[in-house]
Structure 1
Amino acid sequence: MRQLSEPSIGGVVVTPAVKWFIDETDLASAAPWLGLLFMLGTVIPGWFMVRPDPESSGFHPDGEPRALDAPVTVLSGTDYLTARRSRFFIAVTLGYVLALGAQVGGIQQLVRLAEERTDAATAAFATLALALTSIVARLVGGRVFPRFPLARVITVLAVAQTFALAAIGLSHSVLALFTSIVVFGATVGNILMLQPLLIAERFGVREYPRLFARSQFIGIFGTAGGPWLLGWLYDHAGGYDTAYVVAGLMSLAGALCFAIGGPAEDDRDHGRASDEAIAD
C-alpha cells in the first residue's frame, strides 16, 4: 500500500516545486535540470536496486520471507499464451488505454484549465487537492475494495471518473471546479492501483510479470495520447469544455471494456509450475 501511495505523494511534494522552478525560469531552461534530477534520483538508484526475482533476495513471490531450507516455490496461474488471448486480458488492457488516457490527459491539462478559470495560486492548490485526495482515497480503497469483485469496482471507478472529468470541463466557478477535482482525485489513484491487482487476481502469479508488463506497454499509447488529444481539442474544438467532456467519454468507453471482460476471480484456467520450469 505504501508503494501505491507514493506517486500521489510525489504529486504533493515534487509537483509544486517543479512548477515553481519552471515558472521562475522557463521550460527550456528547467528541462535539462529536471532530467538530471530524474537521472540521479531514479535511474541510477533503480539500476542498482533491481533484482531478477524475489527468490534471489530471500523472498517468496508474494513478498513473504523464504527460509533457507524451504522447498522450491510452486507458482499457480494461467499460462502466458492463454492469458494474453483471453477476453479478460484484452478488455482490461483496452479499458486501461482509454481510462488512463482520459485520466493522464485530464491531470496534465488541469493546471492550465484552473489558471484560465481562476488564478495561478488557485491552480497550484488544485493540483495539491488532487494529489491529497488521491492519497487518502487510495489508502481507503486498498482496505475496502478487496472485499468486492474487482471487475465491478474498476467499472464503477471508471464511470465515476467519467462524470468527474465532464464536470471539471463544464465547471466555471471555484466551488464546482474543486468539487469535481476532489471526485476526480478519488478515482485517480484507485484506478491506477487496480491494474496490477486485476491481472494478479485473474491470472495468478505464474506469468504475472510478463502479463503486467505487456498490459502496461500497450497502456502507454493511452497515457501518451491522452494529453495530446486534450491539447488538440483545446486548440481546435472549443476549449476545455469539449476536451474534458471527450475525456469523460473515453473513460466511459473504458468502463464498458471493464464490464465485458468478466470477473477477475475466475481461476478455472490456473495451472501450476515450479520456478525452474518457468525459467526454462
Structure 2
Amino acid sequence: MTATTTGARPRIFYGWAVVAGAFAVTFFGFGSAYTFSTFFEPLQREFAASRAGVSLVFSIAGFLYFALGVVSGPLADRFGPRALAVGGMALVGAGLALAGAARSLTEVYLAYGLGVGLGVGFAYVPAVAAVQKWFVRRRGLASGLAVSGIGLGTLAMPPLAAWLIEAWGWRAAYVSLGVLALVAGGGLALLLSADPARHGLAPDGEAAVAAERAAPTGAPFRSAIRSRTFAGLYLSSLICAFGVFLPFAHLVPYALDRGVPAGQAVLLLGAVGVGSTAGRFLLGGLSDRLGQRPSLLLIIFGVAATMALWPALSGVWPLAAFAVAYGVFYGGWVAILPALLMSEFGGRHVSSLIGVLYTSVAFGTLVGPTLSGWAFDVTGGYQAAILAAAACNAVGGIIAWRATRR
C-alpha cells in the first residue's frame, strides 16, 4: 500500500534510495574511470607509448562522459533516469573488458575511451539530476552524498586495481573491473527514479496531497542558458577543468618520478578519494548553511591554492597531504554545481541544464591531462603544467564570483 492511498509518509523516504542508486553509479562508474593512473605504467610499457599518448586515453573518456550530458540530460528529463543509468553502466563494463583485450593503444582508445566515456556519460547526469528533484531543504547534503561515490570509488577502486594487476596482470584486471561495474553498478542503478509523485510524495517526503498538487517549476530552458549566471558558470567550469583533472591522470607518475615506491604511489589516489568524500559531505552540508554561491568560490580558490603548492612537494606524506586537500575541494566542486543550478533555475529542466554545463568540463578534461603529458615529454617535468592548472582555477574563481554576485 502506497503513501498515496493511506495519506501517510513511508517509514523510509524513498529519496534516500534514489541517493543510494546515484551513489552506486558514481562509485562504480567514476571509481573504475579513476583507476586509470594505476594502469598508466603498464599501458606505457606494453605499447611503448609516450606520456601524452597514454594520457589521451583518459582525456577521451573524460571528454565523453562530461560532453554526453547534453544528450543524456534531456533524455532523462523525458524518459527518466533508470534506463539510461543501467545502460550506461553496461557500457562501462563492456569498455573495461574490451580494453583488457586490446592489441594496440588505438584499441584502448576505442574500448576504454568510448566504452567508459559513453557509459559514464549516459549514467552520471541522469543519476545526479534525479537526486535534485527529491530534496529542497537538504539538497546540498543529498547531492553531496550521491556524488560522494566518486570520492569513495577513488579511494577503493585504484588499490583494488593495483592488487588485480599484481595478481593477474593488467588485462585481467580490466576485465574484472568491467564485470564489477556491470553487475553492482548496473544493478543498484535500478533504484533511480526522478518523479516523487509516482511514489505518492513531494520533495523532502512531504505528504501525498502535496505531491498531487505539485508541478515542475523553474526557468524556461532557453532563458536559463542565455542568462548571465549560467554563462558565467559555464565559462568558469571550462577554465577550471583545464587543470582540475590533472592529478587523476598524472599524480601516480609524478610520485614515481619523485622516488615514491609504486605501492605507495597508488595509495595517493586513495588519499584523493578520502578528501573528495569528506569534501562532498562537509562542503555539501556547509553550502546548505553558508549558501551555494560563497561555497563555490571557496572551493574553486581552494583548488587553485592546493595546486600551486603541489610542485614544491615530494615524498609520500607531503604528497598524501596534498592529495587529501585537493580531494576536499574537488569533491565540493562536483557536489555543489548541480545543487546550485537547481536553486538558480528550478527543476523543470535541471537534467538538461546540468548536461549543458558539463560540456564545459568535457572540453577542459579533453585538453588538460593530454597537454600536461605533452608538457612533461617536452620539458621533462610537471612544474609548468601544474602551475598553469593552478592559474586556470584562479581565473575560473574570479569569473564565478562575477557571474554569481548580486
TM-score by length of 1: 0.82
Show the counterpart of 2:159: 16
Show the counterpart of 2:330: 188
Residue 24 of structure 1: how far off its partner (Å): 4.2
Show the counterpart of 2:257: 116
Unaligned runs of 5+ in 2: 1-140
Task: Calculate the aligned-residue CA RMSD, in Å.
Answer: 2.5
Does the C-alpha gap of structure 1 residues 57 and 233 become closer, same or farther in structure 2, counting only changes over 3 Å? farther
Query: 1:165, 1:92 → 2: CA distance?
Result: 21
> Would the aligned equivalents of 1:51 and 1:57 in 2 still touch at CA under 8 Å?
no
Which deviations, in whole Å up to 9, do the C-alpha atoms of 1:173-208 show, x marking residues without a partner? Answer: 444433322321221110111111111111122221
Residue 103 of structure 1: how far off its partner (Å): 2.0
Residue 132 of structure 1: how far off its partner (Å): 1.3
Q: Is residue 2:144 matched to residue 1:31?
A: no
Show the counterpart of 1:59: 201
Map 1:105-254 → 2, pairs under 5 A: 105-117=246-258, 118-254=260-396
Which deviations, in whole Å up to 9, do the C-alpha atoms of 1:219-278 show, x marking residues without a partner? Answer: 222233332222222222342112211211221222122112124xx7xxxxxxxxxxxx
Specify which structure has the higher proportion of helix.
Answer: 2
TM-score by length of 2: 0.58
Higher relative contact order, chain-length normalized (CA < 8 Å, sep 6+): 1
Does the C-alpha gap of structure 1 residues 69 and 252 become closer, same or farther in structure 2, counting only changes over 3 Å? closer
Query: 2:275, 2:349 → 1: CA distance?
Result: 33
* Alignment equivalent of 2:185, drawn from 39, 42, 45: 42
Residue 155 of structure 1: how far off its partner (Å): 1.9
Q: Is residue 2:83 matched to residue 1:83?
A: no
More divergent stretch after superposition (6-15 vs 34-43): 34-43
Residue 27 of structure 1: how far off its partner (Å): 3.9
Residue 82 of structure 1: how far off its partner (Å): 0.8
Query: 1:168, 1:248 → 2: CA distance?
Result: 9
> Would the aligned equivalents of 1:168 and 1:181 in 2 still touch at CA under 8 Å?
no
Residue 45 of structure 1: how far off its partner (Å): 5.0
More divergent stretch after superposition (253-262 vs 219-228): 219-228
* Alignment equivalent of 1:92, drawn from 204, 212, 233: 233
Show the counterpart of 1:278: none
Does the C-alpha gap of structure 1 residues 53 and 245 become closer, same or farther in structure 2, counting only changes over 3 Å? same
Unaligned runs of 5+ in 1: 267-280
The one-letter code sitting in structure 1 at the alignment partner of 2:235 is L
**DSSP 3-state at the match of 2:213:** coil
Tell me the percent identity.
23
**DSSP 3-state at the match of 2:217:** strand
Does the C-alpha gap of structure 1 residues 26 and 222 become closer, same or farther in structure 2, counting only changes over 3 Å? farther
Does the C-alpha gap of structure 1 residues 176 and 30 become closer, same or farther in structure 2, counting only changes over 3 Å? closer
The one-letter code sitting in structure 2 at the alignment partner of 1:145 is S
Residue 44 of structure 1: how far off its partner (Å): 5.7
Residue 66 of structure 1: how far off its partner (Å): 4.9
